[in-house]
Structure 1
Amino acid sequence: MMNNEQLTEQEVEGLTWLMQAALQNPWYGFYSFLAVVVLTLVVFNLGFARELPVLKKVIVYMMLLVGSFVMWFLEFAFGAPIMAVLVISGIILGLYRFRLHRHRKEKEIA
Structure 2
Amino acid sequence: MDNFRLVFDTVIELNGTDNVFWIFYVMNLILAIIAYELGFAKKLPIGQKIVVYILLLIGVFLLTIFSTVMRMPTVESLLVINAVLAIYRIRLHFQRKHKKTT
Q: TM-score range by the shorter chain?
A: 0.7 to 0.9
Normalising by structure 2, we get a TM-score of 0.83
Q: Which has the larger radius of gyration?
A: 1
**Counterparts of 1:30 and 1:18 in 2: how far apart (Å)?**
15
**Counterparts of 1:58 and 1:23 in 2: how far apart (Å)?**
32
**Counterparts of 2:11 and 2:75 in 1: how far apart (Å)?**
15
1:74 pairs with one of 42, 66, 75: 66
4+ aligned runs moved over 3 Å, structure 1: 16-23
1:93 pairs with one of 73, 79, 85: 85
Displacement after TM superposition at 1:33 (Å)? 1.0
Residue 30 of structure 1 is matched in structure 2 by 22
Equivalent runs, 1:7-26 vs 2, <5 Å = 17=9, 24-26=16-18
Residue 41 of structure 1 is matched in structure 2 by 33
Conserved? CA contact 1:40–1:68, under 8 Å: yes
Root-mean-square deviation (CA), in Å? 2.2
Equivalent runs, 1:49-64 vs 2, <5 Å = 49-64=41-56
Residues 9-52 of structure 1 show CA distances to partners (whole Å, capped at 9, x for unaligned) of: xxxxxxx8599559825133322210000000000110000000
Conserved? CA contact 2:20–2:68, under 8 Å: no
- Distance 1:45-1:19 versus aligned 2 partners, 3 A rule: closer
Identity of aligned residues (%): 26
Higher relative contact order (CA 8 A, sep 6+): 2
Conserved? CA contact 1:33–1:69, under 8 Å: yes
Normalising by structure 1, we get a TM-score of 0.78
